[in-house]
Amino acid sequence: MKRCDSTRENGSALIVTVLLLVLLSVMGLAALETVQRDQQVAGFQNRSRLAFYAAEAGIADAKNRLRDVWTETATVTFPDATTPVAVGDAALFPLGLPVYYADPASAGGGVEYLDGGAVSYGGGGDLRLGGAMAINTLWRIRVIGETPEGARSRLEVVATRQLEGAGGY
């Protein structure tokens, strides 16, 4: 009788082992799916960050171009969407470089005069000493940074530029 009972139990170890292997396989596939989703999210964040850095480079370029402005009626030339400026090293970005250009929604082509700010008395602008009157003018800068994959970042900054004799003061 004992032999009959032992023959019934011989296959149970195999079934338990197969069920454990199936359970471990399902857990492994779930972990693999989670890792793939995390990689996708990291890729999206990386492209978004690159677009933001490209837009920041555009803001720096626009501020640099404002250094050549001497009147509030001056226009600042800035690259548009048809002639974007590439940023970075082609060796680091084999699929294409991030670019920046003026926001098409901007009335002034990316850099526009807003208003005269406060009168500046520092830096030799004191009329009692024979210096020229100066005013801190306000300029709006609107830039778009974009990656080859299509991620975009829009930045808007108000910058100041000190102009001598500006604003009718």
Rounded CA separation 157/110 (Å): 10
Contact 150, 98 (CB under 8 A): no
What pLDDT sits at residue 125?
47
Helix spans in the chain (H): 2-9, 12-66
* Angstrom distance (rounded) from CA 99 to CA 56: 11
Output the pLDDT for position 88.
Answer: 86
Write the DSSP symbol of residue 132. P
Check residue 164 and give left, alpha or beta (phi > 0: left; psi -120 to 50: alpha): beta
What pLDDT shows up at residue 95?
A: 85
Q: Domain boundaries in the chain?
A: 2-168
User: For each of the chain's 169 residues, which pLDDT tens digit applies?
Assistant: 455 555 566 678 888 899 999 999 999 999 999 999 988 888 888 889 999 999 999 999 999 988 888 777 777 889 988 899 999 888 888 888 999 999 988 877 888 888 776 665 555 545 554 556 677 788 899 999 999 988 999 999 988 887 776 444 4
Q: How confident is the model at residue 91, as a pLDDT?
A: 86
Q: Are strands 152-164 and 134-146 parallel, antiparallel or unpaired?
A: antiparallel
Unique residue bearing structure tokens 């100066």: 134
Q: What is the pLDDT of residue 167?
A: 46
**C-alpha atoms less than 13 angstroms from C-alpha of 41 in its C-beta half-sphere:** 6
Q: Which residue has the tokens 């990689």?
A: 39
Return phi, psi of residue 66, to 5°. Answer: -65, -20
> Is the distance from CB of 108 to CB of 76 less than 8 angstroms?
yes
Place of tokens 């969407």: 81
